[in-house]
């Protein structure tokens, strides 16, 4: 999987690059409009992470140029401007998702995986984690072919973990993934804890190969037992 | 009291006594002139009488005997007349035909007849009736003139003052409708009056300064919040990379995690501030007709797991559909902040009550703490039992209701009750 990151903030770029490399992606980077558009038009990428405000021009113009040249890559806009207009015009120009800075790396991975999945499986959107199958289209989970009953939020949480195997997910990143940006209530953490407890019980009862491991009260990690 | 009336009354308060004094003086002068004219006639008559008395022997005796109607002449000795001074006065004389005394103008004098050396007192009089009528007429016309003048002064004064102060009232009206948020400079009318121009210029300068400072502050908050986003993102990204390193020890992991927690708070605070300034800057222009009760039910459904977890009950009562014209994103932000507030500040197994009618939504939730007045809509109002809550949610709601001219109020009556009223709803929805 080849990913292009167009981001002018060097330290930000380094963090994203490091995080993507840990997931075994091939990563290329561009730090301004001209190098960004050059790479986007010349090479093929599975996914492009595109900042909007770039030196030399707008990321939206890169999108526009790609569209004019018939290039259909998966594009996730990453912008510090949580502007609805940018979001709308970005999505209209063919971007697949819009992520507002600051974001959690786990969230970025989840978004990239979702975008890649949609492209690769084309309907048969199923992910195998050991003996656990996650069917994203039908929102169903099965262990060894036996379906597991899961609530909406439990399924969302499991999908989020599945995009971040072996990565420590803080309770905060989890709460944000489940409730969106603006929930900031301590009560959500015990809600999250209750959800995790339910998922664990269901996985254990179904003899699943995956488990959600607590990490020092900081967060959780999805581990596949092989 | 209106300025125009105030000025007119002040002006009248000055003018009317002056005019009054002037009228009285004028009246007295007229009377004096009239009597002076009559007296002059009497004096002429007297001189003619004395001349004839001195030249025609027996004239005085005839006169004394026949006693013509307007002349009374009597013999007198020197002693009784030597101190008599000639004087004209208004007195009463008995007229037999009228059978009563009538007012007349009298000239009383004395003379010595050169022909016989005899002293006489002489009273000559003339009827006063016509002059009295004249004086009456003068008095009446003066009074009428006085009132007409006063009324004219009131009306023309008002008109003139109103016209002259038009630039002032124009400015006043513009200032009353001036709103810093709208940031448009008011237009100042051209005027010939130096002071009005000076006033306009000073107000203009003052407003320009205020608009500039206000915009600078707005931009500063916006920029500060915006510029913080990237550094925050970098720090969060780097710390998240750190906690995922294989060789990290539990202690640093916990420390970094609590730092991440704080950064998360900062991030949310920052994005709330950005949202607030965007709402204030009216960066959500596109509106359409929305049913807020539908949005409420949809948002509530999104939080279903959370409410089930806290075992909260929902009690919805729909009297009508609260339809209003709003930006869909803002409507969603407003309603979800209200729902989140009702969930966060509820008690376990509490109730959330929602009442909808065509122009009002009421959202109430159980809770123990009474919060004073409308303070809860102010920024950074935090409650002691909710250390995680930043308290910006309701100020976001408030700024949205302000934007759309809705009224929002809070009261505590065994539950926290937030009411939003949109008065122009009926007109829009017919």
Q: How far is A42 from chain B (nearest CA, A)?
A: 29
Domain membership flag for residue A109: no
Residue of A nearest to B264 (CA): A172
Same domain, yes or no: A154 and A211: yes
Same domain, yes or no: A71 and A131: no
Q: What is the mean pLDDT of residues B369-373?
A: 62
Q: How far is B241 from chain A (nearest CA, A)?
A: 7
- Say how far apart CA B104 and CA B412 lie, in whole Å: 91
State whether CATH 3.30.565.10 applies to domain B288-429. Answer: yes
> Helix, strand, or coil here: B296?
helix
- Say how far apart CA B122 and CA A163 lie, in whole Å: 140
The CATH number of residue A74's host domain is: 3.40.50.2300
- Do B232 and A187 count as a contact with CB atoms less than 8 A apart? no
Domain membership flag for residue A140: yes
Q: How confident is the model at residue B375 (pLDDT cuts 50, 70, 90)?
A: low
Q: Where are the beta strands (DSSP E) in B319-380?
A: 323-326, 351-356, 360-366
Residue-range definition of the domain harbouring residue A134:
123-224
Upstream peptide bond of A102 is cis (omega within 30 degrees of 0)? yes
B314-325 pLDDT, tens digit each = 999 999 889 988
Same domain, yes or no: A89 and A7: yes
Same domain, yes or no: A83 and A131: no
Task: Please name the residues in contact with B178: beta carbons below 8 A apart, sequence gap of 6 or more.
Answer: B186, B207
Q: How confident is the model at residue B239 (pLDDT cuts 50, 70, 90)?
A: very high
- Do A82 and B230 count as a contact with CB atoms less than 8 A apart? no
- Say how far apart CA A149 and CA B409 lie, in whole Å: 44
Chain A partners within 8 Å of B309 (Cβ): 191, 194
CATH code for B195-280? 1.10.287.130
Same domain, yes or no: A98 and A127: no
Chain B partners within 8 Å of A168 (Cβ): 243-244
| CB B145 within 8 Å of CB B111 | no
Torsion of CA B49, B53, B57, B62, to 10 degrees: 50
pLDDT at A49: 94
Same domain, yes or no: A82 and A128: no
Residues 356-415 of chain B with CB under 8 A from chain A are 386-390, 393
Percentage, residues of chain B above pLDDT 70: 93
Q: Is it the case that residue B182 has pLDDT exceeding 70?
A: no
- Say how far apart CA B44 and CA B87 lie, in whole Å: 14
A189-225 pLDDT, tens digit each = 778 888 899 999 999 888 888 889 888 888 899 998 8
pLDDT at B374: 58
The string of DSSP codes covering A198-224 is HHHHHHHHTT-SEEEEEETTTEEEEEE
Segments making up each domain of chain B, as ranges:
3-159, 195-280, 288-429
For residue A21, count other CB atoms closer than 10 A to its CB.
Answer: 12
pLDDT at B90: 86
If you classify domain B3-159 with CATH, what class do you get? alpha beta
- Do B229 and A16 count as a contact with CB atoms less than 8 A apart? no
Q: How far is B423 from chain A (nearest CA, A)?
A: 28
pLDDT at B391: 65
Question: Rounded to two decimals, what is the model's pTM?
Answer: 0.66
Same domain, yes or no: A69 and A136: no
- Do B393 and A187 count as a contact with CB atoms less than 8 A apart? no
pLDDT at B142: 87
- Say how far apart CA B260 and CA B134 lie, in whole Å: 106
> Phi and psi dihedrals of A172, rounded to 5?
-65, -45
A129-152 pLDDT, tens digit each = 888 888 888 888 988 888 988 888
- Do A170 and B309 count as a contact with CB atoms less than 8 A apart? no
Sheet holding B119-127, edge to edge: B71-76, B119-127, B100-112, B87-95
- Do B389 and A195 count as a contact with CB atoms less than 8 A apart? no
Same domain, yes or no: A81 and A148: no
- Say how far apart CA B260 and CA A169 lie, in whole Å: 12
Domain membership flag for residue A116: no
Q: How far is A101 from chain B (nearest CA, A)?
A: 6
Same domain, yes or no: A18 and A65: yes
3-state secondary structure B238-249: HHHHHHCCCCCC
Judged by a CB distance cut-off of 8 A, whether residue B307 touches chain A is no
Q: What is the mean pLDDT of residues B403-408?
A: 89
The CATH number of residue A156's host domain is: 1.10.10.10
What stretches in chain A show pLDDT beneath 70?
82-84, 120-124, 181-187
Same domain, yes or no: A147 and A89: no
- The total of structural domains in chain A comes to 2
pLDDT at A191: 83
Q: What is the mean pLDDT of residues B35-48?
A: 90
Residue of A nearest to B270 (CA): A102
pLDDT at B218: 77
pLDDT at A109: 92
Residue of B nearest to A190 (CA): B309
Same domain, yes or no: A79 and A133: no
- Say how far apart CA B23 and CA B17 lie, in whole Å: 10
Residue B122's beta-bridge partner residues?
Answer: B73, B109
- Do A82 and B274 count as a contact with CB atoms less than 8 A apart? yes
Same domain, yes or no: A95 and A148: no
- Do B253 and A215 count as a contact with CB atoms less than 8 A apart? yes
Name the average pLDDT for chain B: 84
The CA-to-CA distance between both ends of chain A, in Å, stands at: 24
């Amino acid at each position: 999987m080849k990913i292009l990151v167009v981001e002018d903030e060097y330290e930000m770029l380094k963090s994203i690059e490091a995080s993507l490399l840990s997931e075994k992606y091939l990563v290329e980077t561009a730090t301004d409009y001209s190098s960004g558009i050059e790479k986007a038009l010349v090479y093929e990428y599975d996914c492009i992470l595109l900042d909007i405000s770039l030196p030399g021009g707008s990321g939206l113009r890169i999108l526009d140029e790609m569209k004019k040249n018939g290039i259909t890559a998966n594009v996730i806009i990453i912008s510090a401007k949580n502007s609805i207009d940018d979001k709308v015009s970005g999505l209209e120009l063919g971007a697949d998702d819009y992520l507002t800075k600051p974001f959690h790396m786990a969230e970025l991975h989840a978004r990239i995986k979702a975008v890649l999945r949609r492209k690769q499986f084309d309907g048969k959107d199923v992910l195998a984690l050991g003996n656990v199958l996650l069917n994203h289209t039908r929102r169903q989970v099965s262990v060894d072919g036996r379906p597991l009953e899961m609530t909406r939020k439990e399924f969302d949480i499991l999908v989020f973990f599945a995009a971040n195997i072996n990565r420590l997910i803080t309770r905060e990143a989890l709460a944000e993934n489940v409730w969106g940006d603006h929930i900031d209530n301590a009560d959500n953490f015990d809600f999250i804890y209750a959800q995790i407890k339910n998922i664990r019980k269901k996985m254990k009862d179904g003899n699943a190969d995956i488990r959600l491991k607590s990490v020092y009260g900081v967060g959780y990690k999805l581990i596949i037992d092989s | 009291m209106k300025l125009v009336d105030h000025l007119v009354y002040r002006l009248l308060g000055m003018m009317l006594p002056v005019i009054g004094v002037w009228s009285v003086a004028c009246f007295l002068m007229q009377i004096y002139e009239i009597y002076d004219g009559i007296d002059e006639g009497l004096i002429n008559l007297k001189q003619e009488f004395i001349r004839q008395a001195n030249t025609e022997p027996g004239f005085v005796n005839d006169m004394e005997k026949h006693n013509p109607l307007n002349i009374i002449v009597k013999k007198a000795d020197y002693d009784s007349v030597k101190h008599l001074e000639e004087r004209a006065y208004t007195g009463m004389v008995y007229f037999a035909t009228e059978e009563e005394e009538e007012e007349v103008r009298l000239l009383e004098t004395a003379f010595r007849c050169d022909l016989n050396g005899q002293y006489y007192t002489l009273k000559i009089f003339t009827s006063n009736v016509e002059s009295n009528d004249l004086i009456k007429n003068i008095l009446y016309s003066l009074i009428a003139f006085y009132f007409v003048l006063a009324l004219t002064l009131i009306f023309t004064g008002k008109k003139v003052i109103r016209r002259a102060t038009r630039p002032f009232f124009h400015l006043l009206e513009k200032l009353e409708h001036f709103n810093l948020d709208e940031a448009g400079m008011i237009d100042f009318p051209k005027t010939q009056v130096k002071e009005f121009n000076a006033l306009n210029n000073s107000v203009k300068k003052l407003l320009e300064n205020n608009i500039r400072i206000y915009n600078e502050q707005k931009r500063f908050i916006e920029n500060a919040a915006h510029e913080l986003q990237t550094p925050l993102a970098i720090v969060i990204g780097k710390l998240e990379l750190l906690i995922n390193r294989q060789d990290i020890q539990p202690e640093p992991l916990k420390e970094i995690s609590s730092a991440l927690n704080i950064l998360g708070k900062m991030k949310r605070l920052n994005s709330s501030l950005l949202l607030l300034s965007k709402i204030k800057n009216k960066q959500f222009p596109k509106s359409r007709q929305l049913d807020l009760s539908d949005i409420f039910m949809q948002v509530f459904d999104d939080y279903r797991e959370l409410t089930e977890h806290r075992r909260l009950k929902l009690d919805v009562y729909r009297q009508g559909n609260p339809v209003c014209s709003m930006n869909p994103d803002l409507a969603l932000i407003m309603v979800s902040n209200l729902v989140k507030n009702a969930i966060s500040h509820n008690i376990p197994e509490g109730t959330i009550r929602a009442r909808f009618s065509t122009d009002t939504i009421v959202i109430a939730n159980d809770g123990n703490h009474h919060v004073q007045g409308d303070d809860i809509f102010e920024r950074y109002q935090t409650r002691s039992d909710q250390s995680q809550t930043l308290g910006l949610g309701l100020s976001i709601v408030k700024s949205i209701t302000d934007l759309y001219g809705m009224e929002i109020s809070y009261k505590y009556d065994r539950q926290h009750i937030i009411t939003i009223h949109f008065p122009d709803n009926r007109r829009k929805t017919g």
